[in-house]
Chains A and B, each alone.
Chain A
Amino acid sequence: MPHNGSVSAELAKTEHTSESPAETSVTPAPPKRRGLTSIEALALLLIFGLTARPGLTDLFAAPALQAWSARFVAVCVQAFPFLVLGVVLSAAISAFVPAGFFHRVVPKRSVLAVPVAGVAGAVLPGCECASVPVAGALVRRGVAPAAAFTFMLASPAINPIVVVSTFVAFPGNPEMVVARVGASLAAAIAIGWLWVRLGKTEWLNLPKHHHHDGGKWAAFWSSIRHDFLHAGGYLVIGAAIAASLNTLVPETWLQPIADNPVLGVLALAVLAVLVSICSESDAFVAASLTQFSPTAKLAFMVVGPFIDVKLAAMQAGTFGRRFALRFGPTAFVAAVLAAVLMGALLL
């Protein structure tokens, strides 16, 4: 089998790097050696994975598990490239943008900085997986958190790729595009201003970045490595939850709810949180939920990029749990309100 070959090659490399230098470096400092080191644990896990492969394949042969793992792998494979884009951008901001740059560019007063950041969100052509690490880098670089959060919320909802895909998903319905951009921008700015008034810096728990003496490039690579491993781990949690909900929650539950206008909006808002679809394609999914009202579909598209299970996990990882617990529900409420208002005005 072709993949066994490639994995065992990696495995051989693993064992190689762990065995020989470990003797020279760890023996002089015995107290540091408690139980397995991570590289040995990893090698054991890989050996186990390869030997248990036939059993694994049998276990995952059940159709429900096949479907679950296909969805899980699909969310990861779709999201990883955008996460890589996000961590590369955020590493570039951390390593190469001079510390004073954002102080000069972003308005001094947070009240003004928030709308500027919201509109600036249009330039990051990615989905929400990319915007979370970038917002983290902005805060670390001294941008006011309120402005960074507005940027984080606005960018996945109003960037050109998302605008075009929404336009394509709702042909002959350009007011849906206007409503989406308007509602997302308004809610993102509202949350930024709310943070200016009520937000507390002690809720934030940004993981420390270590300063490397190896120069800017060393800092750049090290930041990519750290951010990808960190945010990627949380993304995996979100992907597992989203795959479980997509596989386990029967669609028939939605049918009676769709007929009620208020319940319909709430149901699609909650659905957006649960299914965690990339903002670049959620318009196509929204368009396919034909039983629901246009305002409910709008709520689905405004809530999705603001908060979903995958994002909540990533925000908790990037900014800390205390932050995520407060931020998630607030973003949800603001997004639903903005969608309902905009829906009443335009749709």
Chain B
Amino acid sequence: MRRDAQAVILLLVGGGMLRLAWTGDYLNYVKPYAFWLIVPAGVILVAVAAITGLSAWQARRESDDGHGHGEPRVAWLLLAPVVGMLLVAPDALGSYEAERTGTVVGAEENRSSYPELPDDVDPVPITLLDYAARAIFDEGQTLEGHRIQLRGFILYEGDEPQLARMVVACCAADARPVKIGFEGDLPANLEPDQWVEVVGEYTPRQGRDEINGELVPYIEVESVTPIPTPDNEYQ
């Protein structure tokens, strides 16, 4: 591979990463803190691209042909993530994945305390993972007497709609869903992947995830309102 081609590939990889950071699309793939990793790395790659391009251009002027000497052919593969980042730009993982992966609450099992929810907020917004952990491992003690607000997307387990959110530890490759069932009446025709805001109350009803047999807590629904997809779909 010639050195000017290498410069272009470095520019595309670095530029692709900077573009993800600029548009905010990086949140579809990694955690928010990764912004501070992606930006410096992208800047370094663009700088290396510029220096490589400059030296290739100078080498030409000195009528060197600018060929790399047996340079890595495997570098061509770096075009694949460039195509992924710039052209395909896949969406965040959603109901398709969540329907095929078991719910994830087990990781919260060892939590030592479940602080009281605030009394002066109504309804109390909490995360799905927090709700599930309080419902399963604390028998919902801290949830009772509060109206709860949850935000997530719709998925179907068989015919039954559920509320879900993807939990990401490092990057989207390890995304696993946390799922919550609905008790009570729901608006008709909820589409999979539709984001909703659910207000309701704790119910002791629990089910089992069909895939990994983990407990799925339920919420007694008061209202379900469609909302726009949030910037960070993971949690």
Contact = CB atoms under 8 A, between A and B. Distances in A.
A309 interface: no
Nearest to A42: B5
Interface in B88-147: 88-93, 96-97, 100-102, 104, 106-107, 109-112
B96 A317 contact: no
Contacts of A18: 4
Given A21-B57, A74-B173, A225 B84 contact: no
A164 interface: no
A57 interface: yes
Interface string A15-51: 0011001001110110010000111011001000110
A303 interface: no
A216 interface: no
A243 B90 CA distance: 13
A257 interface: no
B41 A81 contact: yes
B188 interface: no
B208 to A, nearest CB: 12
Contacts of B224: none
Contact of B9 (A13, A42, A66, A239): A42
A63 B96 contact: yes
A251 to B, nearest CB: 6
A77 B57 contact: no
Interface stretch (B156-164, B179-187, B197-205, B211-219): B211-219
A73 B75 contact: no
A173 B111 CA distance: 11
Interface in B1-55: 1-2, 4-6, 8-13, 15, 17, 19-20, 23, 26, 28-30, 34, 37-38, 40-41, 44-45, 48, 51-53, 55
Given A66-B96, A225-B48, A281 B90 contact: no
B183 to A, nearest CB: 25
Given A49-B83, A67-B97, A77 B26 contact: yes
B173 A237 contact: no
Contacts of B227: none
A75 interface: yes
A229 B176 CA distance: 32
Interface stretch (A3-11, A103-111, A152-160): A3-11
Contacts of B213: 255
A275 B66 CA distance: 39
Contacts of A60: 88, 90
B65 interface: yes
Interface string A68-100: 011111111110111011001000000000000
Given A74-B29, A232-B13, A281 B91 contact: no
A288 B74 contact: no
Contacts of B106: 287-291
Interface residues of A, number: 94
B190 interface: no
A28 B13 CA distance: 33
B85 interface: yes
Contacts of A82: 37
B63 interface: yes
A246 B107 CA distance: 19
Nearest to A28: B63
A17 B4 contact: yes
Contact of B112 (A77, A172, A282): A172
A238 to B, nearest CB: 10
A226 B90 contact: no
A236 interface: yes
A215 interface: no
A237 B77 contact: yes
Contacts of A226: 71-72
A120 B109 CA distance: 35
A285 interface: yes
Pick from B6, B8, B23, B52 the residue with the most CB of A within 10 Å: B8
A70 B111 contact: no
A221 B44 CA distance: 10
A170 interface: yes
Given A67-B97, A70-B28, A84-B41, A224 B13 contact: no
Contacts of A45: 79
A236 B81 contact: yes
Nearest to A60: B88
A186 interface: no
A210 B70 CA distance: 11
A291 B102 CA distance: 11
6 contacts: A56-B83, A57-B87, A77-B38, A84-B40, A278-B170, A285-B174
Interface of A: 2-3, 6-7, 10, 13-14, 17-18, 21, 24-26, 28-29, 32, 37-39, 41-42, 45, 49-50, 53, 56-57, 60, 63-64, 66-67, 69-78, 80-82, 84-85, 88, 169-173, 207, 210, 214, 218, 221-222, 224-226, 228-230, 232-234, 236-237, 239-240, 242-243, 246, 250-252, 254-255, 275, 277-278, 280-282, 284-285, 287-291, 317
Given A229-B6, A230-B74, 13 more contacts: A17-B4, A21-B60, A73-B90, A77-B30, A78-B34, A229-B9, A229-B75, A232-B13, A233-B77, A242-B173, A251-B102, A281-B174, A288-B107
